[in-house]
Structure 1
Amino acid sequence: MRITDVPEVIDRREGPYGEVVLRRHGELLQIIANGCFLMDTSDGRSERLLVDAALDALGDRFRPSVLIGGLGVGFSLAHATADPRWGAVTVVEREPAVIEWHRAGPLSALSSDAFADPRTTVVEADLVEYVNETSATFDALCLDIDNGPDWTVSEANENLYSRAGLASCARVLRPGGVLAVWSAQPSPQFEETLGNAGFRQVRTEEIPVARGVPDVVHLAVRPG
């Protein structure tokens, strides 16, 4: 894969939460929010494991529903809809530009089948507000809106990983439902907070990366 030295900005928007940029770096597409690198199209192993780990933790539950927090480059959504074992798949994304890039822009090549899948519902909303306000419930909640509990894109997101925020996550989970949270690095403090918030079977799965600390998925189960 050929990577050029200088990324090319494809689109730049001022959204409701600040600047969001889509750029091309060689063959990769990258999303940048307020100058903070979020993700690119280089791999997707972490995003796929996020979804698979949640499904595996649900055991033999029939056609479970999943709420995916963060559309990003679409890896999690595409992977969920490619698996017929999932039932309804809802993705919550707060940046209208990201949704548009998927519907009719450069990211549509990664997500067009997922968007066309009848199980898919795309909600334009802030995830923190959504889990606080929605009356809907799900079997799994897969969160990938930050670089991890200790490295949030915005200060407002920090509440999501607090005891109160996790209580809201538990509220939208059905009994025995699974919470899966992607992170760029392990967070023992977050594991402790999950336990203090009433979750059980708390564990962390590592995803090896080419360099540095492994990515991880934090997993926890709402008691039945």
Structure 2
Amino acid sequence: MSTALPERDGRAVVVTLDRREGPFGEVVLRQRGPHFEIIANGCFLMDTADGRSERLLIQAALDELDRTGTTVERPSVLIGGLGVGFSLAYAVAEPRWGRIAIVERETAIIDWHRTGPLGAFSGGALEDERVAVLHTDLLEYLAAADGERYHALCLDIDNGPDWTVTDSNAGLYGADGLAVLWHRLQPGGVLAMWSAQPSPDFEEALRAAGFSDVVTHEIPVARGVPDVVHLARRPG
């Protein structure tokens, strides 16, 4: 990892720990006081200050499977985006999950978990026998014609439907992208998507795509609009 001289942002000391150029642009790992943050193409993506919404992404999907009476003993889950590792660690801590696939396209982020400081937040989850690390672009993986179907899709790859850091991710939230997600779910399967803000338009898009039981869980944040998890189900 590269290092840089610290700078101050208010009272917090900010240190750039690693900076890499990849096929999708620049990704940066910074430490701000006791917390770590990921910056993608100059835009803040996520940090380790508060993992409530990332954990809710997983828990809400499992609760919905329970609510609808799935008969699968150990459902499979696909997590889109490794990020700072909160979602994956939370899934691995739940023995009811079976196969846990994690899709991450950025080599740097995988490295920061395997050999860097983010490993403290994923807690060795990458080594769990149920976990398969899929080092690829999520949209390309989902679009594969012979792709695996999952009982839950838990996606946290950008800021949400109304503002994406990576332009290509916008297609995931439109009609074509939602059709792909529909086909990647088992009948009765659950879709959970994180967003940096509520989006009534996206709720309507989910219903128009044929999803049922569309709800939005809000997670209050220190400042600004709440984070949310959009939840929907493919009818059985």
Given the two structures, how large is their TM-score scaled by the length of structure 1? 0.96
For 1:185, give the aligned amino acid.
Q
SS in 1 for 2:97: coil
Residue ranges of structure 2 left out of the alignment (5+ in a row): 1-9
For 2:178, give the aligned amino acid.
L
Counterpart among 165, 169, 184 of residue 172 in structure 1: 184
Tell me, in whole angstroms, the C-alpha distance in 2 between the residues paired with 1:106 and 1:205.
Answer: 30
Report the equivalent of 1:45. 52
Q: In the alignment, is the contact (CA less than 8 A) between 1:201 and 1:220 conserved in 2?
A: yes
Tell me, in whole angstroms, the C-alpha distance in 2 between the residues paired with 1:163 and 1:143.
Answer: 16
Tell me, in whole angstroms, the C-alpha distance in 1 between the residues paired with 2:161 and 2:150.
Answer: 21
> Are 2:100 and 1:89 equivalent residues in the alignment?
yes
Tell me, in whole angstroms, the C-alpha distance in 2 between the residues paired with 1:109 and 1:212.
Answer: 28
For 2:86, give the aligned amino acid.
F
Q: How does 1:1-224 map to 2 (within 5 A)?
A: 4-59=11-66, 60-61=69-70, 62-133=73-144, 135-224=147-236
For 2:65, give the aligned amino acid.
L
Tell me, in whole angstroms, the C-alpha distance in 2 between the residues paired with 1:4 and 1:84.
Answer: 41
How far did residue 6 of structure 1 move?
A: 4.3
Residue ranges of structure 1 left out of the alignment (5+ in a row): none
Q: In the alignment, is the contact (CA less than 8 A) between 1:103 and 1:112 conserved in 2?
A: no
Deviates more, 1:206-215 or 1:92-101: 206-215
Report the equivalent of 2:7. none
How far did residue 5 of structure 1 move?
A: 3.5
Q: In the alignment, is the contact (CA less than 8 A) between 1:70 and 1:91 conserved in 2?
A: yes
Tell me, in whole angstroms, the C-alpha distance in 1 between the residues paired with 2:11 and 2:219.
Answer: 27
Q: Deviations over 1:50-102 (max 9, x none)?
A: 10000000014321110000000000000000011111111101111100111
| Percent of pairs with identical residues | 64
For 2:134, give the aligned amino acid.
V
Aligned length: 222
